[in-house]
Amino acid sequence: MIFKKFYYKLINQKKYVSLKFQENEKKLLKIFKFELEEKINKINQNLKKEEISFLHSGHLGDIINALPVIKELSKNHKCNLYIQAEKKLEIDALGYKNRDDKYYLSKKMCSMLLPLLKEQNFINNLELYSNQNIDIDLDLFRKIPMNFNLDSVRWYFLLTGIEFDLREKYLNVEDHPSLKDKIVIMRSTRRRNPFINYKFINNYKDVFFIGLRDEYDELKKEISNLEFYNSKNFLELAQIIKSSRFFLGNASFGFAIAEALKVPRLLESYPDFPAIYPNGGMFHNFYFQVHFEEFFKKLNKSN
């Protein structure tokens, strides 16, 4: 096959493309048949139970993105969620490992996350995973042989066959008691858009950063009046986002929360991995500087 592909690549480009397509299709079918089909059918059977137990090992944003399916099922089922700490990073179905971290979710991140999840009344029981019986392993989304540039919230729709109206909220928290009506930023250094900068935000007041300290230090080079707030846990972080004038971020845990809360939000689109597509509420996403500044000004005036 390798020789045949090389031969057609030289003399018949159309045939070469056709062979590549057939080869890739066979690979995907093999993954589905041997690693996924039986498990998908089992999930479909387990959805008929009155009480359903879910497992997820992270990353943080992936857990938030799984909540719409759980919330939808909670209308007719008791839904339990178990969070697994320190599961080692794996290579996905297409042979891609997208991080250098050791684990999907550390014990510290679990302790930060659980207070937020415990606030969600559609979760019947929430615990750390310790070999409890599991009906639906949400980690299986990583095994789906697909292009992960699909809207990340919808990965779980494909896994379970359950859909949710993404214009609706799927996270609920109270307002923050003191930090309100601020411009709130959480920007990962991993998925920055190289076509834009944040320097114009020096013309605005009450701008707070709620991400990691090193991410703050990096952005502080562009926004001299940027203030840092270290949330005690992710429940408080979500409360700050809910109480904000609007939220600004790129593909990060913070934007996953802002999206789930449907607060006014502004998304810095990332060229290589556009896996976030905002739905519902007041939002804008930008790719170029001129639109970034226009949308920022618009949200600041409207709130």
DSSP string, the chain: -HHHHHHHHHH-HHHHHHHHHHHHHHHHHHHIIIIIHHHHHHHHHHTTSSEEEEEE---HHHHHHHHHHHHHHTTTSEEEEEE--SPBP---TTS------SBSS-HHHHHHHHHHHHT-TT-SEEEE-SS---SEEGGGGGGS-S-TTS-GGGHHHHHHS----TTS-----PPPSS--S-EEEE--STT--TT---GGGGG-S-EEE-S-HHHHHHHHTT-TT-EE---SSHHHHHHHHHTSSEEEESSSHHHHHHHHHT-SEEEE--TT-------SSSEEEESSHHHHHHHHHHHHHH-
Domain count, the chain: 3
Closest alpha carbon to 231 in 153, 116, 81: 116
- Domain membership of residue 276 (yes or no) is yes
Gap between the Cα atoms of 170 and 90, Å rounded? 28
Looking up tokens 């409360």 gives 239
Would you give the distance in Å from CA 175 to the centre of its chain? 22
- Domain membership of residue 80 (yes or no) is yes
Residues 98 and 140 reside in one and the same domain? yes
Can you give the pLDDT at residue 93? 44
- Domain membership of residue 171 (yes or no) is no
Average pLDDT over residues 130-139: 97
- Domain membership of residue 128 (yes or no) is yes
Reported confidence tier of residue 184, pLDDT bands at 50, 70, 90 = very high
Average pLDDT over residues 142-146: 80
Can you give the pLDDT at residue 275? 65
Write the pLDDT tens digit of every residue in 213-255: 999 999 999 999 999 999 999 999 999 999 999 999 998 899 9
228 against 28, higher pLDDT: 228
Is 56 exposed, middle or buried (CB count within 10 Å of its CB: 0-12, 13-18, 19+)? buried
Residues 260 and 225 reside in one and the same domain? yes
Reported confidence tier of residue 135, pLDDT bands at 50, 70, 90 = very high
Residues 8 and 72 reside in one and the same domain? no
Domain that holds residue 10: 1-41
Supply the mean pLDDT for the chain: 89
CATH of the domain at 214: 3.40.50.2000
Residues 217 and 234 reside in one and the same domain? yes
CATH of the domain at 62: 3.40.50
Gap between the Cα atoms of 69 and 102, Å rounded? 28
Question: What pTM, to 2 d.p., does this model score?
Answer: 0.87
- Domain membership of residue 174 (yes or no) is no
Average pLDDT over residues 24-33: 71
- Max Cα-Cα span within the chain: 69
- Domain membership of residue 31 (yes or no) is yes
Residues 234 and 273 reside in one and the same domain? yes
Residues 23 and 106 reside in one and the same domain? no
- Domain membership of residue 173 (yes or no) is no
Residues 225 and 295 reside in one and the same domain? yes
Residues 75 and 94 reside in one and the same domain? yes
